Amino acid sequence: MSTRAIRPKGVGVDWAALIAGLGLGLTLALHVTTMNKSDISSVYAVVNTLSRLAALVGTYFALVGILLVSRIPWIEQGVGHDRLISWHRKLGPYSLFLVGFHVLFVTLGYAGQGRVALGVQLWRFFTQFPWMWAALGAFILMVTAGVTSYRKARARMSYETWWIIHVYTYLAIALSFMHQVLNGPMFIGHPLNRAYWTGLYFFSGLSILTWRVGVPIARSIRHNLKISRVVVEGPGVISIIMRGRKLHKLAAEGGQFFGWRFLARHHLLISHPYSLSAAPTEHLMRITVKDLGDHSRSLAFLKPGTRVFVEGPYGAFTAGRSSRRHVVLIGGGVGITPIRAIMEEFRPEVQMDVVFRASRSEDLVFRQELDYLAAQSEGAVRVHYLVGSRQQHPMDFATLTKMIPLFADSDIYICGPTALVQSVRQAALEAGIPKSRFHDEAFAFHGE
């Protein structure tokens, strides 16, 4: 068992919120400090003023959204990957709507002031203002990314298609820059304002290039990670065991995940997020994948010796966040993957109740490993196998407290389908467990 120190909680959240709030205040100040009487002299002037404000705030939200998924280590570790992704997804629609309002209001405002038809005014924009065609391209790309991010649209496409479309958001934000600084009154003749705005763009771009491109490539070359073997764990479930050098320097923990790219056809372009399914060692790492689509299905055909490029480690689903001497680990189906990995990371004095929910007995992957860990723990680890339907094994307050008497005085770790996570979260609320002791790993697309 690990003896990793407990990380302080909430510090990263507080700093992230403070910096984002200061940035928003400075962005609003750009607009307010450069206004004059003509900006509120008529109804159409007010509409134009509101359009500029919407553009500034909408773009700022887009830049913050990029930073939330740029994998900056101190933010990832302090806030948690799932929370960052949640913030990113919630912020995205506000950015898109504000930019959309900007397009609508600026067209109405200029058309009203010039007393021309909307179509005429749109044509004037593209013929009289610099970088407007690039701005149009940026807007179309943002709308496309926004529409495909809605749950129903996202459910109809593969992860690969969604990922490629979403990457175009970076291009959209880049294309809008010149249009803003060359046409925005808050930037024309205001070098400090332009320097601040340029700095935001530069820092966002540098963060992406550093943490999502440069560092992963350097680490992958340094650690020389290659597939050692592929193992069938159960129906539609495989494990990929990878060998490398000095893997301990990645500082990965059980419960975390990486973005994986395999140097094989159809696998190198797109990074797929999979959790570690065993605590990493100096030379070995393992992931376990369920057949959920073309990409995960094709992993079974990867050959030993295939080079692996990694991005990570990510996630705050780690043993170091626990504060109690007793933990409850709950895995649903293939959600047992990070649960299995995190078991080896807790301090020796921690006692564990591990609950494995599965629809069929053949879906109980890692059963032998779980039983072995329990046997070696001298009673510190108890494993509960719940096989059957939700009706047979409801994961509610009554069931969990009966099965695990110390449930209310435990840290709860859970990974599985949304319905399972919600049910256990409700049980935790009824037991009076604070949010700081409830740790869940999203059982869906890990990252943007």
pLDDT string in tens for the chain (448-residue length): 443 444 444 555 777 788 899 999 999 999 999 999 999 999 999 999 999 999 999 999 999 999 998 988 878 777 777 778 888 889 999 999 999 999 999 999 999 999 999 999 999 999 999 999 999 999 999 999 888 888 777 777 777 778 788 888 899 999 999 999 999 999 999 999 999 999 999 999 999 999 988 999 999 999 999 999 999 988 889 999 999 999 999 989 999 999 999 998 878 777 888 999 998 999 999 999 987 665 677 888 899 999 999 998 888 888 988 999 999 999 998 899 999 999 999 988 999 999 999 999 988 999 999 999 999 998 899 999 999 988 899 999 999 999 999 999 999 999 998 899 999 999 999 999 999 999 987 654 444 4
Residue 183 in any domain: the answer is yes
Residue 446 in any domain: the answer is no
CATH number at residue 72: 1.20.120.1770
Last residue of a domain, one of 261, 296, 314: 314
CATH number at residue 410: 3.40.50.80
Note down the domain range covering 243.
Answer: 224-314
Same domain flag for 304 and 346: no
Residue 306 in any domain: the answer is yes
Q: What phi and psi, each to the nearest 5 degrees, are found at residue 425? A: -60, -40
Residue 23 in any domain: the answer is yes
Other CB atoms within a 10 A radius of the CB of residue 215 amount to 15
Residues 342 and 336: their CA atoms lie apart, in Å, by 10
Same domain flag for 95 and 198: yes
Q: Which two tokens stand for residue 118?
A: 């909307």
Per-residue 3-state assignment (H helix, E strand, C coil) for 392-441:
CCCCCHHHHHHHCCCHHHCEEEEECCHHHHHHHHHHHHHCCCCHHHEEEE
Per-residue 3-state assignment (H helix, E strand, C coil) for 224-236:
CCEEEEEEEEECC
Residue 383 in any domain: the answer is yes
Same domain flag for 132 and 44: yes
Residue 217 in any domain: the answer is no
Report how many domains make up the chain: 3
Torsion of CA 201, 203, 204, 209, to 10 degrees: 120
Last residue of a domain, one of 252, 287, 314: 314
Same domain flag for 233 and 110: no
Same domain flag for 75 and 98: yes
Residues 32 and 52: their CA atoms lie apart, in Å, by 11
Axis crossing angle, helix 43-68 with helix 159-183, rounded to the nearest 10: 130
CATH number at residue 288: 2.40.30.10
Residues 282 and 240: their CA atoms lie apart, in Å, by 16
pTM listed for this prediction:
0.80
Q: Which two tokens stand for residue 268?
A: 């190198």
